[in-house]
């Protein structure tokens, strides 16, 4: 028992050191971190898939890696904390908070650990390249994700002259697709996405912000 405890403490100390080193020296662009589970239940971190191990999750940084390795729950905050980030980002980038909430609702259902099949991650489902452009280091971090996503919405607002439906379509399909089609792309997924976000937007405006 004492030997196991020693090994666990040694592992925890090593992990803490790795996290500190990563935070001090990590560049803006960094490889994803893979966390696996082995056939005997052991967990490990690597910078690539490992044959014979089951991939549990991928992360952008070492943040919360210790919790995942020890199979402890991660407290990423909740709606109240998210609302503070939404309000602050809304003021900073001059974006309607109801629109921010609507996009989060449709993108991730307010789940900060949501990951799509295409690799979009976090509350506002940022892709790796988009996150890099927006200086978001950790897409799983609610504050970073929200501020990055809202900054992107602000850029789209400027690009599409504050046309909300085009901005929403561009958030889903990309601004290039909207410009090529000179409007909302005909793709069924994007058409449904715009309708869902617009409905959520009007609902949030009435329920949360008292708009008529």
- Which one of 107, 144, 155, 189 is the catalytic residue? 107
Residue pair 172/188 in contact (Cβ under 8 Å)? The answer is no
Helix locations, the chain, DSSP H: 2-25, 65-69, 79-93, 97-108, 128-133, 142-159, 164-173, 175-181, 188-209
Residues 6+ apart with CB under 8 A from 209: 97, 98
Residue 177's CB: how many other CB atoms inside 10 A? 16
Determine whether 107 is an active site residue.
yes
Q: Which one-letter DSSP state was computed for residue 121? A: B
Which residues neighbour 124 within 8 Å (Cβ) at sequence distance 6 or greater?
103, 104, 107, 108, 145, 146, 148, 149, 150, 152
* 121, β-bridge pairs: 115, 126
**How many other C-beta atoms lie within 10 A of the C-beta of residue 37?**
16
Provide the annotated active-site residues.
107
């Amino acid at each position: 028992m004492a030997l196991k405890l020693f090994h666990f403490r040694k592992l925890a100390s090593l992990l803490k050191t790795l996290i500190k080193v990563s935070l001090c020296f990590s560049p803006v662009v960094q490889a994803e971190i893979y966390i696996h589970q082995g056939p005997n239940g052991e967990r490990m971190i690597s910078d690539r898939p490992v044959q014979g191990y089951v991939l549990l999750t991928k992360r952008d940084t070492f943040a919360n890696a210790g919790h995942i390795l020890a199979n402890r729950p991660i407290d990423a905050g909740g709606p109240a904390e998210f609302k503070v980030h939404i309000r602050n980002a809304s003021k900073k980038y001059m974006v309607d908070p109801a629109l921010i909430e609507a996009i989060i609702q449709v993108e991730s259902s307010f789940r900060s650990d949501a990951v799509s099949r295409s690799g979009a991650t976090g509350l506002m489902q940022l892709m790796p390249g988009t996150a890099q452009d927006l200086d978001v280091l950790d897409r799983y971090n609610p504050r970073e994700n929200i501020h990055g996503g809202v900054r992107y919405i602000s850029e789209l607002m400027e690009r599409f002259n504050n046309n909300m439906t085009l901005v929403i379509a561009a958030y889903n399909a990309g601004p290039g697709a909207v410009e090529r089609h000179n409007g909302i792309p005909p793709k069924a997924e994007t058409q449904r996405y715009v309708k869902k976000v617009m409905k959520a937007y009007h609902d949030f405006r009435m329920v949360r912000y008292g708009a008529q």
